[in-house]
A = this chain, B = another copy of it.
Amino acid sequence: MPGPMPTLPFPRSGLPTPALVLDRAALARNIGRMAAFAAARGIALRPHAKTHKSAAIGRLQVAAGAAGLCCAKLGEAEALAAEGLSGLHLTSPVVAPGAVARLIALHRRSAGLSVVADHPDNVRALAAANAGGGPLAVLVDVDPGTHRTGVASAEAAVALAGEIAGAGTLRLAGVQYYCGSLQHIQGFAARLAAVAERTDYLRTVLAALRAAGHEIALVTGGGTGSFAIDAELGVLTELQVGSYVFLDREYGDCEPGAGDAPLFEPALFLDATVISANAAGMATVDAGLKALATDAGPPVVVAGAPAASRYLFMGDEHGAIVAEEGEPPALGARVTLQPGHCDPTVNLHDAYHLLDGETVVEIWPVTARGRST
């Protein structure tokens, strides 16, 4: 926990900065809207915990009906399982021998664990490591064309499914298909067309698997950019949405879908303090690239500065608030920023500071912060 903290509850203005703040009511609305949408469409939810890395937020998602949580890394799953969460699904292959041993150990203590695979050598290693245990659920990861992970063809999917089904100590649990590169296509029509085209390919893979005699009940994937399209297309049976809980600037820039698709609202912010104000038209805040991830560009200035203000990264621990019109914030003033990309920004912080209005009411640890192994 960074620095000594006042006793809860305390005013937001007393929070040491830079501080990750989370609007509790907005978070609850976002979780509720996605849960209601999925329930109405009869599609399962297994929200991606890589966004929040938080046992507390995961519990809220499960309480709202989620089947479990997705994890990007084994370390994330270990951390969330230690907090009592179950139904954890690993969305990347677990390959190194030490990691495979940890996965099997986790499988033996955490109910409903599943993992993807995309290579027969990995399937054989998982099968051998799980000898003597209850079957481990393994999904065939199918590459949608980004070449990040996944088998490269329907033929490879069928061959891998055969390896899994025939391994004895594994259970063929379904297919994963995550079109990551399509999630941030800003125009809705273009995003719809791209996801529909890639879903046609998924249909051919599923048809080949079923023709080979494999029952594929679970088809998991999708994200905050595509979930409504995925639900409409009706091929995925489970959504791995993550960022909807916070809605960062990157997703906020995307045109939402039509129909009954819920709208989400920004819930995650970073509070910063002006520590220098000697230059005309700008002020320097105490939040730089160790408090805000840079990969999706700068955060949005949402409060504490004139409406047209912009944030510029100024190194590890500094940012400039540039006021295009009006007076920049004064020395000591508080400025609120909306992160460009929520997932890696959260991973920089040890804690969420929960806001009820302008009062900090709870502090939640970022349970799996830094758990990248």
Contacts and interface: CB of A to CB of B under 8 A. Distances in A.
Interface of A: 2-4, 6, 14, 16-19, 50, 72-75, 78, 92-99, 102, 118-119, 121-122, 143, 146-152, 156, 180, 273-279, 282, 284, 286-287, 289-291, 293-295, 313-318, 320, 331-332, 343-344, 347-350, 369-373
A148 B284 contact: yes
A274 B78 CA distance: 21
Nearest to A4: B102
A279 B347 contact: no
How many copies are assembled? Answer: 2
Given A99-B273, A289-B295, 20 more contacts: A16-B99, A17-B373, A18-B372, A18-B373, A50-B317, A72-B316, A92-B286, A93-B275, A119-B277, A119-B331, A122-B331, A148-B276, A152-B278, A289-B293, A290-B343, A316-B344, A316-B347, A317-B372, A348-B372, A350-B370
Contacts of A151: 278
B279 A92 contact: no
B2 A119 contact: no
Which of A74, A122, A279 gathers most chain B CB within 10 Å?
Answer: A279
A16 B373 CA distance: 6
Contact of A373 (B2, B99, B118, B180): B2
